[in-house]
Structure 1
């Protein structure tokens, strides 16, 4: 069985290859591709493989864009780290997928399903492609933010913010040198931030990963953070979020 992997994270691509090696199926890995552009060129120049494992988010865009630029007749198993809301789009449209991090049992089940089927596991029809594209559009996270200064507003870079907090119904943003008033609620603010860089540790505080200097155990199964320029704030991760926070720090 000839397999093509389209995946932009080397670690994820290596993990998938290791899982394939541990499976009971014989395969030949044709190539590992990490961009939409290179995938389009590959499909135009080569015969279709027996099976493609295709990540959704590639280095230069969504992998669905491949189908808009060239014909892909090979069966596809998508791999994705999207949340459960986005996964629902796959289920509704009967598209095969593996949720990252991929587990050996899930991969083996997908391969067994592939071999039992007399038809390709996934044929990406135009209407299904449109629905998936609409469901998987990734909003652009803001790079700048308006803050109050004097009698008006100035824009600062989001990357300058160490943390944000709410006090007496006012939202503040703190940089290395200054504290600003932000004319947004904590909910509005967090929804617009890159959640790989910022984490809402409790209802009243959002922390930047770059500002965290130390993590210490705290009572009641919580953790306490030491951050840059803490001013008069204590940073306690709520008990419900402690496990998820540690996972976020490991990414």
Structure 2
């Protein structure tokens, strides 16, 4: 088996080679490459290998960029540190993936799968685009425009304690204690805000991690959140169905 390895971490390269040699003693490592550009040049100048291993994140970009510049006429196994759930779309069109550090039993299963392939695995444009979209970091809203009298001013999301709904208006509560109406629903905000910083605690509140003073047990398996907000004496309750997700978020 003639194998090409595209990986920018030396330890990962030698670990993969060692496991391959144990599973396939006759394996021939054609080359080890660490950038998109060297990989593109290699495919242009050499016949196709029997198998290629592609690390997703290379020194000069994502390995998917290779497919945009050159035809890759061979089966591919991606190696990646990304979570398997996020990469469920990779198991299509004879493409497989392994999570790093690569386990020998999983490598063995991937090689077994590739032995049953008929012809090279081709990445179609739709699959490639789907993969790239999944791996792009999601951009979250960093600033909000609010009206102060006749003026508009920008408020950084980092300076927001929480958003809340009141009398059919959604308000932004600034860390300075002032509140401003915003032109979004809480549902819209829930999809815009960084989930590492903000959590939709209930139907009326989206709170930032920094504004939570403490959490206490409440009736019917619910939780009560006390905010660092002397102006807000009403309890902020978390429903039973959100309790576990809230605990996970709070403990990150």
Task: Please report the TM-score for the alignment, with normalisation by the length of structure 2.
Answer: 0.64
The yes-or-no answer on 1:238 pairing with 2:216 is: no
Task: Measure, in 2, the Cα distance between the counterparts of 1:51 and 1:205.
Answer: 49
The yes-or-no answer on 1:43 pairing with 2:39 is: yes
Secondary structure at the counterpart of residue 128 of structure 1: helix
Match of 1:155 in 2: 154
Structure 1, residues 216-241: CA drift from partner, whole Å, max 9, x if none? 33332222333333631433222111
Shift of 1:200: 1.0
Task: Measure, in 2, the Cα distance between the counterparts of 1:63 and 1:50.
Answer: 15
Instruction: Please say which of residues 126-135 and 168-177 is displaced more in the overlay.
Output: 126-135
Q: Which runs of 5+ in 2 are unaligned?
A: 28-32
Shift of 1:3: 9.2
1:158 and 1:249, CA in 2 relative to 1: closer, same or farther beyond 3 A? same
Q: Which runs of 5+ in 1 are unaligned?
A: none
1:172 and 1:138, CA in 2 relative to 1: closer, same or farther beyond 3 A? same
The yes-or-no answer on 1:172 pairing with 2:171 is: yes
Task: Measure, in 2, the Cα distance between the counterparts of 1:217 and 1:61.
Answer: 47
Task: Measure, in 1, the Cα distance between the counterparts of 2:94 and 2:205.
Answer: 40
> Is the contact between residue 214 and residue 226 of structure 1 (CA under 8 Å) also seen in structure 2?
yes
| Equivalent runs, 1:19-34 vs 2, <5 Å | none
> Is the contact between residue 216 and residue 224 of structure 1 (CA under 8 Å) also seen in structure 2?
yes
Task: Measure, in 1, the Cα distance between the counterparts of 2:93 and 2:84.
Answer: 16
Shift of 1:135: 6.3
1:148 and 1:128, CA in 2 relative to 1: closer, same or farther beyond 3 A? same
Structure 1, residues 157-177: CA drift from partner, whole Å, max 9, x if none? 111111111111111111221
> Is the contact between residue 148 and residue 180 of structure 1 (CA under 8 Å) also seen in structure 2?
yes
Task: Measure, in 1, the Cα distance between the counterparts of 2:108 and 2:237.
Answer: 41
**Cα RMSD for the two superposed structures:** 4.8
Task: Measure, in 1, the Cα distance between the counterparts of 2:202 and 2:36.
Answer: 44
Shift of 1:179: 1.8
Shift of 1:144: 0.8
Secondary structure at the counterpart of residue 141 of structure 1: coil
1:184 and 1:68, CA in 2 relative to 1: closer, same or farther beyond 3 A? same
Secondary structure at the counterpart of residue 226 of structure 2: strand
| Equivalent runs, 1:9-20 vs 2, <5 Å | none
Task: Measure, in 1, the Cα distance between the counterparts of 2:167 and 2:60.
Answer: 43
Match of 1:202 in 2: 202
Shift of 1:189: 1.7
Rg larger in 1 or in 2?
2
| Equivalent runs, 1:1-251 vs 2, <5 Å | 39-40=35-36, 43=39, 52=53, 54-55=55-56, 63-69=63-69, 73=74, 75-77=76-78, 80-81=82-83, 87=88, 89-90=89-90, 95-97=95-97, 110=110, 112-114=112-114, 116-117=116-117, 123-133=122-132, 139-177=138-176, 178-229=178-229, 231-232=231-232, 233-251=234-252
Task: Measure, in 1, the Cα distance between the counterparts of 2:99 and 2:236.
Answer: 33
> Is the contact between residue 93 and residue 123 of structure 2 (CA under 8 Å) also seen in structure 1?
no
